[in-house]
Structure formats: C-alpha cells, structure tokens
Amino acid sequence: MEYKKLIIIINNKRMKIEQFKSLSDGYRVVLLIHRSKEGGFNNKKLRHLKKTITRNSEEFEKVVNEFEMIKNNDERSLRVYASINDRNLDKAIRLFKQRQLDIEYGGNKDRFYTDLRSIFISCLMKKEAKNNSNFLFDLDEIDERSLITTRKLLKNNTNILLEYKTKNGVHIITEPFNYPKVLNEHLIKSLNVDGLMLLSFD
C-alpha cells in the first residue's frame, strides 16, 4: 500500500507530520483512542482501539497514517496520540518479566498469557521505561497574551522542542528542567512529565 504524507487539520491549518519528526524516532507507542468524554468507554482497554510500537521515524509515519485513515472512516470522534518520550526496550522487558514472575506466584494467568502484547505495551509505557524526560504542557483555552507569557517563561528555563495547536488550546513540548522553582501552580497542573502528544483529532 502506498502511504501518502499525512496532513493533519488543526484550526483550518495544514500541519504535516514532518513537524513531529524530531519526536518520532526510537521506540514509541502510537495509539488510536476513543476518549470517554467523547463517547468512548471508561475502560482503558476498550477505549484504546489500536496501539502499536514503532521503532523509527519511518514506522512512526506509516502507523500514524494507518490510524488516520481508520479515524477518517469512522463515525466516532477518534484521536491519534503518541508518546512524547521514546521508550527503553530493556527496561520494559525487565518490567514485563517482573509482572510475569508475579503472576506465577498468584494472579490471573489466563488473562496475562492471552493478552501478552497489550501487557508488554503497558510496560513500555511505564514512566520507569522512558528513555528521555521531555515535558508536555497541555494548555487548554489559553489566550494569546497568556501564551506569550508562558512561552517566554519556558524559553528562559529550557528548550522548547515543539509547539502546536490542539482542539481546545496548545501543546508545548520541552526538554526537562527544574520546574517547581519557576512555574506557578496553574502551569504545574498543566504539566505532564511523560505525556502523549495529540497528532490528529476531529
């Protein structure tokens, strides 16, 4: 199948997937999600319609394109996300083996061994298995003046890796820094130290 360059429509602006290229290499998890607040199930397993591990930028682009096509042909309001931090495979394997060992000494073996792929992905997404420590600021309903102030504050304390508009505001992804010393309570609440970047939505 030929994979066309994905075009994401955000606030009537065309945003190519190349914008995310610097955050697409290494082991990543890409997810197609039907959020509970948009009619999806509260159960995470049912809400996560598809999830795939990618190993490099090429695989990342291919999977995001696949999920985008599924999203565009579905009547539900779906979203495509990906981890802002690449993942450490060895750390995830260690976490997986520990869970496997725990199951052997008590637990639902049937559930574990019939859902190995999903369980390994959950291990890969643990904070203990991240390979770097980028931050994501999820700024909902922020006005332009506040955004300028926030952007300036972040630039004075770290490097901004990516900024893009979302359905209700802005995502800013930065390199890690000692945030408790410089951020107010509002900005700390918007911070996710191992979040998901929103790639596509309706």
> Which of 14, 23, 8 has the alpha carbon at shortest distance from 161?
23
Task: Supply the pLDDT for residue 76.
Answer: 85
Predicted pLDDT of residue 46: 47
Across residues 156-177, what is the average pLDDT?
A: 93
Would the pLDDT of 81 be above 70? yes
Mean pLDDT for 116-121 is: 95
Are 93 and 124 in contact by the 8 Å Cβ rule? The answer is no
pLDDT at 41: 55
Write down the pLDDT at residue 16: 58
pLDDT surpasses 80 at 202: no
Asked if residue 21 lies in contact with residue 57, where contact means CB atoms within 8 angstroms, the answer is yes
Separation CA 188–CA 178 (nearest Å) = 11
Closest-CA residue to 29 (of 8, 60, 57, 75):
60
What pLDDT is attached to residue 57?
A: 93
Average pLDDT over residues 107-122: 92
Q: Which residues contact 196 (CB under 8 A, 6 or more apart)?
A: 31, 81, 82, 83, 84, 136
Collect all residues with Cβ–Cβ distance below 8 Å to 114 and sequence separation of at least 6: none
pLDDT over 90 percentage in the chain: 64
Q: Supply the pLDDT for residue 19.
A: 79
Q: Calculate mean pLDDT across residues 179-188.
A: 90
* Residue 9: pLDDT band with limits 50, 70, 90: very low
In this prediction the pTM is 0.83
- Mean pLDDT, range 39-65, rounded to an integer: 80
The pLDDT of residue 38 is 55
Average pLDDT for 33-58? 75
**What's the pLDDT score for residue 89?**
97
d(CA 165, CA 139): 9
